[in-house]
A = this chain, B = another copy of it.
Amino acid sequence: MSSVRVGMIGYKFMGKAHSNAYRSVPMFFPQAVKPEMSVICGRDPKGVKEAQEQFGWQESVTDWRELVTREDIDLIDINAPSDVHKEIAIAAAQAGKHIFCEKPLALNLKDSREMLEAAETAGIKHMIGFNYRFSPAVQLAKDLVESGRLGKIYHFRANFLQDWILDPEFPLVWRLQKEIAGSGSHGDLGAHLIDMARYLVGEFTEVIGMSETFIKERPIASEMTGLTAKGNSNTEKGPVTVDDATLFLARFESGAIGSFEATRFAAGHRSTNSFEINGSLGSVKFDFERMNELEVYFVNDAEDVQGFRRVMATDGVHKYAEAWWPTGHPIGFDHTFTHEVVEFMNAIEEDRQPVPNFHDGVACQAVLEAVERSVEERRWVTLSEMAED
């Protein structure tokens, strides 16, 4: 197989990031199977046509149902709004297409499971867009854990802190409405933390959480987009139906314990996506705002020179780094998506499931919902309880 023909549904923020990734693979990872930018799909004919030209797709269409059955398409990329993921994914799976679905997999656990089942039944390759895994510094953290260099893991603590809705006059965009977004900071930001925890520390056993919506009502937006909104003179307000912040504590199968916080009310934090792992032999710290760096500590370093090392994960030895620039030259947010696509292309070539895939999407959703249930019922909720639902 020399190329994979992609049909992509959605063309906003994530559509742009994915398009850039498809474009970049052949240039920076020429050994990988080439993703062909065949068809882009969106509801608005004018908008999708513009995106087609701007992003470099061969064709644009408006009907995703038709797209997912086209014979000249091998892979469906879903970055449309979360509430339509399920329907598209199941149709694509049934049509035998590989699927690259943005997170969250679906709005709830039940839907996620149906998607996974459809994908497994169809025998297709499926992937979910937890892009932060693909920072070389995170890959290094993974390698340190896997190789045992951090020893037995005791602690995982992670925060995803933003401040974009701190202003009470910031309008009621779709991300603040439960029926469209499914969840607030928890599903949007916390999901990334949960995935990172599962990737690095393993499965959760139980959780207990706390949520808060600090600003209960906001001006109704005249035009709603993802992270921004057109200002308006509208003084009418509507209710915010998602969480502004969600925190939770957790236990893992391995015996490790964890602490998680996702908030959009942390003044000064544009997008601090950070975690720390403490093991019996060492620790690592990561903050996506300095995504090229991993801080690493080893218990067995010589006694007088023990300390966290600031490792730039840009050396040839670091995963994905050699494809880019000389050592010490930073890469950015967009490069994580390119690495994601490389993983998917490699998985197709090697006839294996890419990682992370729909299993990870389901598992993440189970933790998200366990936390939500623990918030509602004010009690610890086990993951086995979720499994029995």
Contact = CB atoms under 8 A, between A and B. Distances in A.
A334 B328 contact: no
Interface stretch (A12-20, A91-99, A229-237, A340-348): A12-20
Given A27-B23, A268-B283, A279-B267, A166 B299 contact: yes
A114 interface: no
Given A23-B27, A257-B245, A308-B310, A328 B269 contact: yes
Nearest to A154: B265
Interface string A199-211: 0000000001110
Contact of A227 (B282, B298, B326): B326
A124 interface: no
A333 B334 contact: no
A331 B328 contact: no
A281 interface: yes
Interface in A7-48: 13, 16-17, 19-20, 23-24, 26-27, 30
Q: Which of A19, A297, A305, A310 has the most CB of B within 10 A?
A: A305
Interface stretch (A75-83, A103-111, A285-293, A352-360): A285-293
Contact of A249 (B164, B247, B267, B332): B247
A155 interface: yes
State which size class the interface on A falls in.
35 or more
Interface in A224-273: 226-227, 245, 247-249, 251, 255, 257, 259, 261, 263, 265-272
Contacts of A333: 324-325, 329-331
Contacts of A209: 249
A48 to B, nearest CB: 15
A23 B23 CA distance: 9
A261 B157 contact: yes
A289 B330 contact: yes
Contact of A335 (B16, B159, B332): B332
A27 B13 contact: no
Contact of A332 (B19, B257, B331): B331
A89 interface: no
Contact of A315 (B155, B290, B306): B306
A312 interface: yes
Leading 4 A-B pairs by shortest Cβ distance: A270-B328, A271-B328, A268-B297, A332-B332
Interface of A: 13, 16-17, 19-20, 23-24, 26-27, 30, 54-56, 140, 143-144, 154-155, 157, 159, 161-164, 166, 208-210, 212, 214, 226-227, 245, 247-249, 251, 255, 257, 259, 261, 263, 265-272, 278-283, 288-293, 295-299, 301, 303-312, 314-315, 317-318, 324-335, 378-380
Given A23-B27, A247-B259, A307-B311, 13 more contacts: A140-B305, A154-B263, A209-B249, A227-B326, A267-B297, A306-B311, A307-B312, A325-B332, A330-B330, A331-B332, A331-B333, A332-B332, A332-B334
